[in-house]
Amino acid sequence: MKYETVIGLEVHVELAAKSKLFCSCTTKFGGEPNTHCCPVCTGMPGTLPVFNRKVLEYAVKAGLALNCDITRDFRFDRKNYFYPDLPKAYQVSQLYAPVAVNGHTEIKGADGNAKVIHIHEMHMEEDAGKIIHSPDGKTAFLDYNRCGVPLLEIVTEPDFRNAEEVNAFLYRLRSVFKYLGISDCRMEEGSMRADVNLSVRPEGCEELGTRTEMKNINSFRAIERAIAYESARQIKIVENGGRILQETLRWDNVAGYSFSMRSKEEAKDYRYFPEPDLPAFHLTREEIRLCRAAIPEFADEKAERLMQEISLSADDARVITEYRNLAELFEDTVKLCNAPGEVRFWFTGGLLSYINETGTDPEDITLLPENFAKFAGLVLNKTLTRESGKKVFRAMLESDGDFDIRGFIKENGLETLDDEDLIITTVKKIIEENPKPYDQYRNGETKVYGFFAGKVMKELKGRADPSSVNRMLKNILENES
Ligand code: ADP
Ligand code: MG
Ligand code: ZN
Q: What is the pLDDT of residue 467?
A: 82
Looking from the CA of 166 toward its CB, the CA atoms found within 13 Å total 30
CA of 23 to the centre of ligand 3 (A): 5
* Ligand 1 atom with the shortest distance to the CA of 9: 14
Nearest CA to ligand 1 atom 11: 8
CA of 182 to the centre of ligand 3 (A): 20
CA of 158 to the centre of ligand 1 (A): 7
- Mutate-to-test residue for ligand 1 from 122, 193, 211, highest number of ligand atoms within 8 A of CB: 211
Q: What is the pLDDT of residue 417?
A: 73
What CATH code would you report for 420-480?
1.10.10.410
Taking only the tens place, the pLDDT of each residue in 26-58 is 999 889 999 999 999 999 999 999 999 999 999
CA of 278 to the centre of ligand 3 (A): 16
Read off the pLDDT band of 471 (50, 70, 90): confident
Q: What is the pLDDT of residue 480?
A: 65
Q: What is the pLDDT of residue 51?
A: 98
Taking only the tens place, the pLDDT of each residue in 402-424 is 899 999 998 988 887 777 888 88
CA of 267 to the centre of ligand 1 (A): 12
Q: List residues near ligand 1 (CB under 6 A).
A: 6-10, 155-158, 197-199, 208-209, 211, 266-267
* Ligand 1 atom with the shortest distance to the CA of 198: 25
For residues 439-449, one letter each, b for 16 or more C-beta atoms within 10 angstroms of the residue's C-beta and e for the rest, the string is: eebeeeeeebe
Taking only the tens place, the pLDDT of each residue in 165-190 is 999 999 999 999 999 999 999 998 88
Q: What is the pLDDT of residue 43?
A: 92
Q: What is the pLDDT of residue 163?
A: 96
Domain residue spans of the chain:
3-288, 297-411, 420-480
Residue 125 CA: which ligand is closest?
2
Instruction: Answer whether residue 481 shows pLDDT above 60.
Output: no
Residue 126 CA: which ligand is closest?
3
Residue 161 CA: which ligand is closest?
1
CA of 432 to the centre of ligand 3 (A): 77
* Ligand 1 atom with the shortest distance to the CA of 208: 23
Read off the pLDDT band of 473 (50, 70, 90): confident
Output 423 or 196, whichever has higher pLDDT: 196
Q: What is the pLDDT of residue 109?
A: 82
pTM recorded for the entire structure: 0.87
Instruction: Answer whether residue 267 shows pLDDT above 80.
Output: no
Taking only the tens place, the pLDDT of each residue in 120-141 is 999 999 999 999 999 998 999 9
Residues with CB under 5 A from ligand 3 (ion): 23, 25, 38, 40-41
